[in-house]
Amino acid sequence: MKLATIRSACCSIRACASHSGSRFSGMSRGCLPVGTPNSRLTLRPASTAPSSGTSPTLTANFGKQHQEDDWFKCNRSVGEVVQVTKEAVATLQRKNPEIQPLLVILQAGEDDSMLEINKKIAGKTGLNVTQICLAKKCNEDEIVEELLKLNDDPRVHGVFLRLPPTSLTSRVLKTLKPEKDVDGISDLNIGRLVRGDMSKCFVPPMANAVLDLLEKHDASLKGKSVLLVGGQVPLRVALQCLIERSGMTVQTNHWNSKSLKTQVMQADAVVLLSAGNIDIPPSWARPEAVIIRCESALEPDDAIIDLSSRSGLGYLTAAYRAQNVAHSCSRWLQEQQYRPWHLHSLKLQPLNPVPTDIEISRAQTPKPVDQLAEEIGLLPGELEAYGRNKAKVRLSLLDRLHSQPDGKYVLVAGITPTPLGEGKSTVTIGLVQALSAHLKLNSFACLRQPSQGPTFGVKGGAAGGGYAQVIPMEEFNLHLTGDIHAITAANNLVAAAIDARMLHEATQSDKALFNRLVPSVNGVRKFSPIQISRLQRLGINKTDPASLTPQEVSSFVRLDLDPSKITWQRVVDTNDRFLRKITVGQASTEKGQIRETGFDIAVASEIMAILALANSLKDMKNRLARMVVGTSRSGEPVTAEDLGVSGALAVLMKDAIKPTLMQTLEGTPVFVHAGPFANIAHGNSSVLADKLALKLVGRDGYVVTEAGFGADIGMEKFFNIKCQASGLRPDVVVLVATVRALKMHGGGPNVSAGAPLPKEYIDENLSLVAGGCHSNLKKQIQIAHLFGVPVVVALNVFKTDTQAEIELVCQIAKECGASDAVPCQHWSQGGHGTLELARAVKEAACKPTNFQFLYNKEMPILEKIRTIAQKVYGAEDIELSPNASSKIDYYNQQGYGSLPICMAKTHLSLSHKPEKKGAPSGFVLPIRDVRASIGAGFIYPLVGTMSTMPGLPTRPCFYDIDLDPETEEITGLF
């Protein structure tokens, strides 16, 4: 088989590739080529001599008397089209200097006969053109493979298939993107043309050229008849539509038709399509009739090539194709702009009593995710579908909409919760349903992905509840798009690398380690890029392995990890208490390398926190490299990059970094992405999900995101950690409260998950409600005001709440400084039940903010901890254990002192004691240890004991979860 070649009309380059269909990688795609169909035009009167008293209506003999330059000067049609296209390209480039419209000609064989015509048209219009030559007998798979590459290349604005008719199969035509089909041969383009949708279709260039010649005929052909003979269906259909719309009548026929002579004699103009060597006798046509003869580019008769390469129709067709490329480029640029939403909400019909969450979810049919994406202005190429209901969104969206103003940024936080949770997720979902489905304002919810541990443990799923849910809730709560599994794989690869490296260092000499770490391949020994990075951190500026001294070799190969100071643990996304402490290395093959370690739940991995805080793929890769996994015996931190594993981690995480698009029960968009712990990490969904959503909603839209636990934990970390990383600033805080939680903070009895609620929480008790409002609710409002952000209190109403209790909460909340306080009925009514909240948020978002961080990150670590304890928690002071004090000294020594603080403490109280409700004060906050997530970028002091591996209760949720093998429906999820 012949090698594929690419020719550049700009550079006159020929190159051979390694296989048919491949590109020449050494050629700049900015300077690219040209080709147009080998077409011959005969435009003449029907007889060879004029009839008496009548001159020939139109005569032309293109390409024989004049060279191309003279031809361009004298041919009005080509000149006009070229000029229009040139001006269009110049206009595009004035607005977008970096843009260069590009046509790619994909052809079979290496025929260069039309190269000069294409050069001239490209040169005169300002286009770039490339010619890709496949083998002359290329097969369908090779053509499709090349087309897929061209479809995905944003630099290509038009593709011309210069292939034999037998190669233009249905599969080939369906593969070519209609947006790049500048020859207008695909079914979609022809259909649009027939329907009259000219703004979206491309008219076949040869059809335009023929119509141009007919319309410029000396005598008007309006009302006259035109006969089309032969030709391929797309060209014939296009010509028929265009000619009829120009006021002429059209008939079609084939060469072997018995009625051909009669029809020719009756026609005012005859267009011969793909005639080959067949012609019609002059005696058939009327003396004044116009005959246009078009030859296919790949007719077997090569004798016509010299004539056709200089033919007028060839030039005119090439000019119209160039015009289509300019139109395609213009449409592409327009497509890259922000697109207004056309969101079609889904109707809710709430039932009373409210069914189970899974019954509600299953009763609503979600929109196909590609439909939802189109409605909110996403391009097809920005979507990676995972089935019908969910899709990853590519980060290229940020580049496309980089100049688009952000929308309003709303944070949903909560008062200090009961162990049951107070409904921040349902409020978040209900709020966006109200904003988008009812107030018709663009809005996006950004939620954390739930861990399967709580889903099968005691808490259940996190898709919201009642008529404020993300759907399908089964897909939301189980696996989703595999991000947590990717984190698990990446985390455990690091763990495996640590133990393997310790084993090999313990059992090999420096020389043996060096020979294995830097092996000789085909007699050549060289460092990998990640090894060169390690050498540079060691201060060894060498790239030749042979040049290292024995001491440098030893420093390079030995991480010398201290087994007692390894901080990295394995993870699994299951509540498994028996993995909290384990012993590894007990097999004889591990040669006595036994040590104690343990498992965390997957969402507690530092990699999850990194995913949530990364601003880009590059940022994530750098953060993964900086992760500290332990300390050497000499006291130096050892990183994932030192282990040589950080590049592999980025590979495992390359898809997980893309947020997942889903929808609410009312068809409004949701991003689900990341789910870090809210104690040892910051407990917020991802920076990237928020950034994508803020661009998509537009200047007047709203992005509603949620912070874990109470405002003293999740909101404080959102401001001081997430906003530091993202550079984003919130406009409003929605503070979620419940009557039951306020009663607890007002002195009510303890509440336990799974146990019946005491009567104090069922019966009206205004005293307990007031006590909770004046203590915890007031304190949480004050915390938000520390950051200069207005607060709207959302009272999540339960059926046991009385009207008096609801009114009391709203009254006291406003007295405590909330901009507004409103009851919310989203659980039973969906978005309609949070309309009042949506209006309050809209009003608060219009107010000016004076956002400020709680502390300067350059403050000493100790002072940052003290500031949070005193200003947020209400502590009198802090108390450091000796271990915590020495850790702070170590982190300062290593240069980590400017990192923000992520306090790890109980979420059930503002203090360190879960039983202390309300707003405790005057206590001393004990700091027993201080640890660091250097990759994620924060220091986390431990207040008390933090469990990073939950256990299962006596009766876990999984008792109720089941699958119907007939319908494959899941039951029992909530």
**Looking at the annotation, which residues are catalytic?**
424, 426, 448, 459, 678, 709, 798, 827
Residue 500 in tokens: 């393997």
The residue whose two tokens read 């040209």 is 34
Residue 361 vs residues 464, 568, 957: alpha-carbon distances, Å: 10, 39, 18
User: Please, what is the Cα angle at 641 between 636 and 643, to 5 degrees?
Assistant: 80
User: Are the C-beta atoms of 442 and 702 separated by less than 8 Å?
Assistant: yes
User: To 5 degrees, how large is the angle CA 711–CA 881–CA 910?
Assistant: 20
Tell me the two tokens of residue 894: 């290593």
Distance between CA atoms of 260 and 285, rounded to whole angstroms? 11
- Token pair of 223 as six digits: 């009302």
- Measured distance CA(865)–CA(873) in Å, rounded: 11
Copy the structure tokens of residue 468: 């404020």
- Residue 450 β-bridge partners: none
CA dihedral 138, 141, 142, 143 (to 10 degrees): 90
In 10 A of CB 520, how many CB atoms? 10
How many C-beta neighbours within 10 Å does residue 947 have? Answer: 13
Which helix (H) or strand (E) element contains residue 796? strand 791-796
Under a CB-based contact definition with an 8 Å cutoff, are residues 934 and 626 in contact?
yes
Determine the Cα–Cα distance for residues 227 and 253; give it in Å rounded to an integer: 7
Which residue spans within 135-260 are E strands per DSSP?
158-162, 225-230, 249-253
Report which residue type is found at 522: N
522 near 671, Cβ under 8 Å?
A: no
- Which residues make beta-bridge pairs with 13? 8
Query: DSSP secondary structure string, 634-674?
Result: TS-EEEHHHHT-HHHHHHHHTTTTSPEEEEETTS-EEEE--
Selection from 300, 154, 271 nearest residue 210 by Cα: 271
Cite the DSSP H helix spans in 576-719: 606-613, 617-626, 640-643, 646-653, 687-697, 716-717
List the alpha helices (DSSP H) in 267-368.
305-309, 312-336, 357-363
Instruction: Single out the residue of 697, 677, 649 nearest to residue 905, CA to CA.
Output: 677
How far is it, in rounded angstroms, from Cα 25 to Cα 945?
58
Nearest of 348, 8, 48, 318 to residue 183 by alpha carbon: 318
Distance, CA of 320 to chain centre? 36
Q: Residue with structure tokens 């329907």?
A: 195
Rounded distance, CA 130 to CA 150, Å?
11
List alpha helices for 389-472, DSSP H: 396-400, 424-433, 452-456
Q: In b/e form, how buried is each residue of 433-457, taking b as 16+ CB within 10 angstroms?
A: bbbbbbeebbbbbbbbbbbbbbbbb
């209790």: which residue's tokens? 805
Both structure tokens of 120: 């001239």
Contact 731, 849 (CB under 8 A): yes
Whether 736 and 415 have beta carbons less than 8 Å apart is answered as: yes
Residue found under tokens 């116009």:
290
My answer on whether omega of the bond before 366 falls inside 30° of 0, hence cis, is no
Q: Please report the beta strands in 19-135, taking only residues with DSSP state E, as ranges in sequence order.
A: 43-45, 102-108, 128-134
Residues facing 133 on adjacent strands: 5, 107
